[in-house]
Amino acid sequence: MLDKKLIEKEYGFLGDSIFLNVSQVCMPPLRVQRAYGNFMESYVKKLGEGVVDEAWDIVNGCRPKIQKLINAAYSHEIGFVKNTAEGMGILAAGLNLERGDSIVIADQEHQSTLFPWINQHQLRGIKLNVVESRNHEVNEDDMIAAIDSNTKVLVISSAQFSTGYRAKLEKLGQVCKERGIIFAVDGIQTIGRFVMDVQKFNIDYLCAGSNKGLLGSLGCGFVYCSDRIVDKITPPYAGYQSTSNHVPAPSVTINFEYLEWYPNARKFESGNLSYNCILAVSEGVDLLLELGVENIENHIKELEKRLRDNIRDLPLYVVQAEDPDNWGGMVCVYYPKQHEDDVVRILGNYKIHGTMRGGYIRFGLDFYNTIEQMDVVSEALFEIAKLGKGE
């Protein structure tokens, strides 16, 4: 069961606002807000002295927290990047792929996940086996059927950003393991909101920005790279933080022939990192671990069921996976685009904050939301459904 007193302590500042925009950006808890600001205050107070050494203590302190959050085997399998796109781009560019090798990927994927592979298709001639979604669903059997004898990687988001469809990762991971295929997952939409177990799901590579369920900040993310595949990836860029063959300044190296990469995910950290953002992630993950991700997942599932039950008869199109096990804590509702100004007004009257794009509203649910808020959202949606009825 969720600790409601702890949630109130961290999120009481929201007041009566109904924040349902976690699928786009998180609302950082108080501890994250304070840590983020304190980092810069300390930086200035010390005139920058010793900041980098202290910052690496932050980095190395955050690794085991993420390790625990996703059940990785080792903390050295965690590396920090700017965002999901960089994380996925490292894998796409760093693998020794050749013309004719194939990648299995879905047509719903966010650009951060899809475009790195299209880029390699253009540069190296790899083949993209693009799986078409059906009724807004990325069918796992269709993904498996798209695997051919040249498939090297299967890529999927843990939940699709435009539909909320949550993949059955364990099923896909088992097939990839059996066939010797790298299983790569964009986890940004579910990490921190649903249980992520990289060992149970046989995930080889996982990337995510921290600005959603991780409760962190824009401009920071992480990758999990299993020891099984880390040697197969050559980072697309290098620096003294990602290699072990540099020497203390002012010298740079005694070896001008080749680089000695760190033998783990640190090889992806080429230079100074966004240390203040990593501190924010560290604080955010602390809260997630205190609350318990299983508790968070169960709460989100309860919220989503309540909202979907409430709007079962809503005369607007609601995206909904047939199997509730594929619900991803995200509810997308389409509305007549010509009434967008009125929709904005109605949501504002109810103090509801969601994502509005392309004629649909996306509500992202998280642990600080309540059953009562789902009832308010339902009321607002039925009011929206009345727009234009008298025309």
- Can you point out the beta strands (E) in the chain? 18-19, 78-81, 102-106, 127-131, 151-157, 182-186, 205-209, 221-225, 318-319, 330-334, 352-353, 355-357, 360-364
* pLDDT per position as a tens digit, 341-367: 999 999 999 999 999 987 999 999 999
What topology is assigned to 4-27+292-385 in CATH?
Aspartate Aminotransferase, domain 1 (3.90.1150)
Alpha-carbon distance 208 to 213, whole Å?
A: 10
Can you spell out the DSSP letters for 352-377? Answer: EE-EEETTEEEEE--TT--HHHHHHH
What topology is assigned to 32-289 in CATH?
Aspartate Aminotransferase; domain 2 (3.40.640)
pLDDT, mean of residues 229-255? 87
Does 391 score more than 60 pLDDT? no
* pLDDT per position as a tens digit, 151-200: 999 999 999 999 999 999 999 999 999 999 999 999 999 999 999 999 99
Alpha-carbon distance 182 to 204, whole Å?
A: 6
- Supply the pTM of this predicted model: 0.96
The pLDDT assigned to 302 comes to 98
Buried b (16+ CB within 10 A) or exposed e, 315-325: ebeebbbeeee
* pLDDT per position as a tens digit, 262-319: 999 999 998 899 999 999 999 999 999 999 999 999 999 999 999 999 999 999 999 9
How large is the greatest C-alpha to C-alpha distance in the chain, in angstroms?
Answer: 79
Flag the least confident range among 30-34, 72-76, 95-99, 386-390: 386-390
In the chain, where are the structural domains located? 4-27+292-385, 32-289
